[in-house]
Amino acid sequence: MIVGIALIGVERKQRLLDILSVAMETVSRATRFVVRLTPYGIFAIAANASGTLNLEQVGRIQVYLITYVVMALLLAIWVLPGLVSTLIPVSWREIFSSTRDGLITAFIAGDLFIVLPFLIEACKQTLERCHAQESDASNLPEVIVPASFNFPHTGKLLSLSFILFAGWFADANVSHAEYPSLALTGVLTFFGSLNAAVPFLLDLFRIPADTFQLFLATGVINSRFGALLAGVHTVTIALLGSAAIAGLIRFEPARVIRYVSVTVLLTALTVGGLRFLNSTFLRPGFRGADIVYGMQPVFPVEDSGALAPEPTPSTPGETLPGVVGDIRARGVLRIGYFPQRFPYAFRNQEGALVGFDVEMGRLLAKSLRVRPEFLELDALDFTAAMSRGECDIAMTGWAVTPDRELGVLLSQPYLDETLGFVVLDHRRGEFSSWDSIRALGAVQIGVPDVPYYVDIIRNRLPEADIELITNLQDYLGTIWKFEAVVLPAERGSVLTLLNPKYSVAVPEPGLIKIPLAYPIARRDRGWADLVNTFVELKRKDGTIDALYDDWILGRNSRVVEPRWSVVRNVLHWVN
């Protein structure tokens, strides 16, 4: 009876082994089939990347993309397998000959989990060739691989480099002192999903969350190389862990020294090559000036009153008094402006006068059924020119202050600016709060020659060394003689695009708002009432919001092209 029971147990065990053998053979055949499809898979990846990443995105993220791929290949091809071949009696060639099909499958699919059975079997076969059968080391990968799968692999850990890239990209660099915190926090958060961990790390290190979209965009390519590296990491852990338990680890000084020397040399060459490549051929050129001077009107010029027909002569009894009557009689609205008053009135790269207030002027002329005519004003003779009526209205980002209110009649405010500081980029943190600025003591600050601005700074920063300035363009060039310049953030942001080494800092708490209004010629109250009505209407119909989004926030309207598609771009079956 005992013999019969034993035979039944042997038969069941044999049956299970047969089933397992059939399953492994099926997996092997499927893997070989996938490998034969490799060229098609590579094409699909390229097509997907072409449709997902546009040229502008590639130009911005090429530094991270190329660095990640190169470092992943260095780790996957030499560092990890080289470590294995140094410590156990198996060659670099043997490691890849047994795991090649599984690694290629992981690369194509961008997923490690689906190839774990294949990698386990490959590791067992490799260990058997190392004469590890006597110690049962060849069976250990079945335990080590599932256990290690829950821990962050090298492919995930390499994604920490994105946090550094995002900080550099968004001008919010992670300091060297924060590297240990980044490493520790990254290891702990990477136990979960990368798509959940990366936004958390971005918030933790005060990096704009919008950069997470770049991480998703690079995932089209990086997830493949990350899966490849994860596969090599899994094989490395399985082989070294099994060999350590079985006592097969060998420490030969000559082999270890050779491995370390080659690794250091390859790493130095790789890092040096990447640095040279990124600083020369792939160096992202700063295009701030192109952005500013390439801006175009939100509302087309032909629809803004520039081509409005000449008004018909007024009939007796229809003559309007004051400035409004003069405008209708001549058929022209004379609009004064200061040159290069970003972003309200300036000339773009085509020589055309553009800006927030330029568009408001054209819309005002259109509402009056007259043509706009823009006249350049002299800041020193501005008040007298408005009193003489040399222009009908000034539309040039004119800030409302008590002393200016005494000189000319102003319309109701149409926009508020926020007072801030233009500082060297690396010092923006020092000017992020009033307390931190006061802690600097006698800091040198340039203040526009406007009494209201001077009074604010003297009250908030009594110890500051204040010097008046008249032309900001002279102080944002190659010579900077102040530690900071007081300027509304809306204007400063544009100037920092023209001068990338500067940033805008808005101190908190207690934001200081400064309204903007339009000076009215000849202090004509009736003309001012008409302008006030125009401003209120444009506020209500969303025109001012649209202009603010474009000229202040830089959200230029443009048509987003649909992603590349074989059906659309090759076969032309759909538009």
In a domain, 95, yes or no: yes
pLDDT of residue 320: 65
pLDDT of residue 235: 92
Domain span holding position 498? 418-516
Cα 405 vs. chain centroid, distance in angstroms? 42
Residue type, 115: V
pLDDT of residue 532: 93
Question: Is the pLDDT at 559 greater than 50, yes or no?
Answer: no
Contact by Cβ (8 Å): 414, 517:
yes
303 plus 252 within the same structural domain: no
Question: Is the pLDDT at 191 greater than 90, yes or no?
Answer: no
For the purposes of burial, counting CB atoms within 10 Å of the CB of 275, is it exposed (0-12), middle (13-18) or buried (19 or more)?
A: exposed
pLDDT of residue 7: 45
511 plus 526 within the same structural domain: no
Summarize pLDDT for 501-548 with one digit per residue, the tens.
Answer: 678 888 988 888 989 999 998 888 889 999 999 999 999 988 898 888
Residue by residue, DSSP assigns 304-348 as TTTTPPPPPPPPTT-PPPHHHHHHHHHTEEEEEE-TTBTTTBEE-
CA distances from 336 to 110, 485, 528 (A): 61, 26, 15
Sheet holding 409-410, edge to edge: 371-376, 332-337, 393-394, 519-520, 409-410
329 plus 471 within the same structural domain: no
From 157, 95, 165, 101, select the one nearest 126 (Cα to Cα).
95
How many domains is the chain partitioned into structurally?
4
Question: Is the pLDDT at 391 greater than 60, yes or no?
Answer: yes
CA distances from 343 to 340, 407, 485, 494 (A): 8, 24, 18, 7
Summarize pLDDT for 260-288 with one digit per residue, the tens.
Answer: 999 999 999 998 888 887 777 665 555 55
In a domain, 251, yes or no: yes
Mean pLDDT of 473-484: 61
**Whole-prediction pTM value?**
0.55
pLDDT of residue 309: 45
State whether residue 488 is helix, strand or coil.
Answer: strand
265 plus 384 within the same structural domain: no
Which structure tokens are listed for 466?
Answer: 């204040």
Residue by residue, DSSP assigns 178-246 as GHHHHHHHHHHHTTS-HHHHHHHHHHHTT--GGGHHHHHHHHHHHHHHHHHHHHHHHHHHHHHHHHHHH
pLDDT of residue 473: 56
136 plus 107 within the same structural domain: yes
Which structure tokens are listed for 259?
Answer: 């491995």
Question: Is the pLDDT at 133 greater than 70, yes or no?
Answer: no
Q: Indicate the angle between helix axes 161-169 and 179-189, nearest 10 degrees.
A: 120
Which one of 516, 541, 560 terminates a domain?
Answer: 516
470 plus 376 within the same structural domain: no
Name the band, by pLDDT with cuts 50, 70 and 90, for residue 129: confident
Average the pLDDT over each of 148-162, 362-376, 394-408 and give the range with the smallest value.
394-408
Question: Is the pLDDT at 173 greater than 80, yes or no?
Answer: no
Distance CA 49, CA 233 (A): 26
117 plus 261 within the same structural domain: yes
CA atoms within 13 A on the CB side of 70: 18
In a domain, 572, yes or no: no
Name the band, by pLDDT with cuts 50, 70 and 90, for residue 316: very low
Question: Is the pLDDT at 411 greater than 60, yes or no?
Answer: yes
Question: Is the pLDDT at 305 greater than 70, yes or no?
Answer: no
State whether residue 13 is helix, strand or coil.
Answer: helix
Question: What is the percentage of the chain residues whose pLDDT exceeds 90?
Answer: 14
In a domain, 569, yes or no: no
17-26, 241-250, 304-313, 547-556: which has the highest mean pLDDT?
241-250
Average the pLDDT over each of 220-234, 243-257, 336-350, 498-512 and give the range with the smallest value.
498-512
Mean pLDDT of 312-320: 49
500 plus 510 within the same structural domain: yes
Question: What is the percentage of the chain residues whose pLDDT exceeds 70?
Answer: 76
355 plus 345 within the same structural domain: yes
CA distances from 455 to 59, 246, 441, 486, 502 (A): 46, 79, 18, 12, 25
Summarize pLDDT for 332-374 with one digit per residue, the tens.
Answer: 999 998 888 888 888 887 888 888 999 999 999 998 999 999 9
Mean pLDDT of 13-23: 65
In a domain, 347, yes or no: yes
**Arithmetic mean of pLDDT over the chain:** 79
Q: What angle do CA 305, 308, 309 make, to 5 degrees?
A: 165
In a domain, 333, yes or no: yes
From 461, 564, 427, select the one nearest 53 (Cα to Cα).
564
pLDDT of residue 265: 94
Mean pLDDT of 431-457: 87
Contact by Cβ (8 Å): 338, 516:
no
Distance CA 91, CA 85 (A): 5
Distance CA 554, CA 416 (A): 17
In a domain, 561, yes or no: no
Distance CA 248, CA 242 (A): 8
State whether residue 441 is helix, strand or coil.
Answer: coil
The CATH number covering residue 462 comes to 3.40.190.10
Question: Is the pLDDT at 245 greater than 50, yes or no?
Answer: yes
Distance CA 111, CA 129 (A): 28
Summarize pLDDT for 74-83 with one digit per residue, the tens.
Answer: 999 999 999 9
358 plus 343 within the same structural domain: yes
548 plus 524 within the same structural domain: yes
In a domain, 113, yes or no: yes
Summarize pLDDT for 20-74 with one digit per residue, the tens.
Answer: 566 666 756 665 665 566 555 555 555 555 555 555 555 667 788 888 999 999 9
508 plus 526 within the same structural domain: no
Which structure tokens are listed for 431?
Answer: 């000017």
